[in-house]
Structure 1
Amino acid sequence: MRYALALFATGLSGGVCADEAENAFVEANILGIFYHELGHALIDVMQMPVFGQEEDAADVASILLIDHLFEPESALEMAYDVANGFWAEAVVNAGEPVAYWGVHGPDEQRFYNTVCIFYGGDPETRDDFAEDMELPEERAEYCVEEYELAADSWGAVFDELAEGGESMLFSAEDASTMTAQIISGEVAALNADFGFPSVIEVFAAPCGEANAFYDPSDQTITMCEEFEDHLRVLYRALGN
């Protein structure tokens, strides 16, 4: 277990430290998005069966990795920010038709799924989290079971990765950006914790859109640099 990188507290290389809470939100969501794409990569390279939407499985992998990898206080702070990232997407897109035909669930549902699973991992100490996030009691009563089911499924995968294997590789078009620094540090940390069945390459680069994706054709994860600015828009949409 480890603490978050906390780039927001130390300032980025050669840059001026912006508002700490905003940078913490950006950092947590960059990591949450990266873990989501890593979930897709693991499903592919480990040939995992997926019963249901793969996007939902990747969301579950993301919040479980936050719970699994970080010390409780840091995991809690990240869970607030990652869940609120989904809520902010809903706020920004209010008035737009919901793409029920899409592979991702509605942002509000992804918010409550994330809150429920994280709360279910330790309901005795996370009851304030559930209350702050206004998790309905009708859902909260099932969250321990949801967490246990998710942990049984993904936990076996994490245990297998802990046995060792190949390392992830990282490269960036501009190593000085916030995204590149966060992902570079996280790839190094994951390589210390896990080994993968095959090499997964991770890139931080401009994509022309605020996005991130896993490409199974060459087993690569791309983290788009444009996501940082988009996340700052989301943070401000929450009224911060």
Structure 2
Amino acid sequence: MGRLLVRLGVLVVGLLAMIVAGTAAQAASSVEKYPTKKQSARQAFTAEERQEIDDFVAGNVLFTLYHEAGHAMVSEFELPVLGREEDAVDSLAALMMIPEEPDEQQDAWIIAAADWFAMVYELDDSEMEYADYAGEHGLDLQRYYQIICLIYGSDPEGFADLAEYAELPPERAERCPDELAQVARSWVSLLEPHEGKAKKPIVVSYGDPGEYGDAADVLRESGVMEVVAEELSTTFAFPNQIRMVAEQCGEENAYWDPDARTITLCYELVDGARLLIVDDIRAR
């Protein structure tokens, strides 16, 4: 169990170090060239703000890809899931991104993935409807706190400030190390029998980005999809050919299609992440 757990915790190490420079150059330049709807004038960003933008985009793309890969594993390996599958693969994605040892860059990425849900919640001032409670996903703030809890549980002392900033209730914070351990035990026990190499490497492709050329540039130049595909292909013995595709979807989304055996990452989601953090920085 230990070997695979370490493997899960370092999936974003190694080749992903090569992502940072490409993502930074593309994301920063595209942000300044294409301001948001809220502000038409070009605005310069500090080095710290550029890094924040880069981390937010990279972290959310990584989390989304690992989340959808979780759905693929449940489907392809016929894994049992107790409770909502969406909650389970959220926890898996977090587990795969939380570093085994303290790492400032990886910490920034997983925290950015959590922040997405808090920021979306803050922007949505509409009243809740029955359909919101009946959805297959948890509520945005629930997803935020679940990820924050797992991050905190990995290093309570190191992430004490994060727990305080997030206003994680003390009674929940106390249980977070055990929650992380339970998530790790559960997923490792399910995935250990499927450790190995995929029958065929996961294939990556890019569709026509249309108006989302900047999002496509970020993905291509960073190589994030290729890195994730290679790491998954050499860690898990997928029995069938899996495809990972970036394309226009008409909405901010990502999904696993079990019939086509395809993980789709929508350009709109990548662009939406960029706009979300840029608007947040400009509103401060």
Assess, with a 3 A threshold, how the Cα gap between structure 1 residues 97 and 170 changes in structure 2: closer, same or farther: same
Give the equivalent residue in structure 2 for 1:97: 128
Larger radius of gyration: 2
Q: 1:183 aligns with which of 225, 249, 268?
A: 225
Unaligned runs of 5+ in 1: none
Question: Higher mean Cα deviation, 123-132 or 56-65?
Answer: 123-132
Aligned 8 A contact 1:8 1:17 in 2 = no
Q: How many Å apart are 1:52 and its aligned residue?
A: 0.6
Give the equivalent residue in structure 2 for 1:219: 261
CA separation in 1, counterparts of 2:256 and 2:127? 27
Aligned 8 A contact 1:8 1:20 in 2 = no
Q: Is 1:198 equivalent to 2:223 in the alignment?
A: no
Aligned 8 A contact 2:60 2:113 in 1 = yes
Q: How many Å apart are 1:198 and its aligned residue?
A: 2.6
CA separation in 2, counterparts of 1:107 and 1:153? 24
Give the equivalent residue in structure 2 for 1:44: 75
Unaligned runs of 5+ in 2: 1-9, 32-49, 210-215
Assess, with a 3 A threshold, how the Cα gap between structure 1 residues 145 and 119 changes in structure 2: closer, same or farther: same
Q: 1:125 aligns with which of 154, 158, 180?
A: 158
Aligned 8 A contact 1:91 1:237 in 2 = no
Assess, with a 3 A threshold, how the Cα gap between structure 1 residues 160 and 229 changes in structure 2: closer, same or farther: same
Q: How many Å apart are 1:70 and its aligned residue?
A: 8.4
Q: Which amino acid in 2 is paired with 1:63?
A: A
Matched residue pairs, number? 239
Q: How many Å apart are 1:169 and its aligned residue?
A: 1.3
Q: 2:179 aligns with which of 133, 138, 146?
A: 146
Give the equivalent residue in structure 1 for 2:29: 16
Q: How many Å apart are 1:136 and its aligned residue?
A: 1.2
CA separation in 1, counterparts of 2:182 and 2:26? 39
Q: How many Å apart are 1:239 and its aligned residue?
A: 4.4
TM-score normalised by length of structure 2 = 0.75
CA separation in 2, counterparts of 1:236 and 1:11? 15
Q: How many Å apart are 1:187 and its aligned residue?
A: 1.6
Question: Higher mean Cα deviation, 115-124 or 135-144?
Answer: 115-124
Assess, with a 3 A threshold, how the Cα gap between structure 1 residues 69 and 7 changes in structure 2: closer, same or farther: farther
CA offsets 1:98-152 (integer angstroms, 9 cap, x no match): 5111111110110001101121122232222222322110210111111111000
Identity of aligned residues (%): 31
TM-score normalised by length of structure 1 = 0.88
Assess, with a 3 A threshold, how the Cα gap between structure 1 residues 68 and 210 changes in structure 2: closer, same or farther: same
Root-mean-square deviation (CA, aligned residues, Å) is 2.5
Q: How many Å apart are 1:93 and its aligned residue?
A: 1.3
Q: Is 1:6 equivalent to 2:37 in the alignment?
A: no
CA separation in 2, counterparts of 1:179 and 1:9? 8
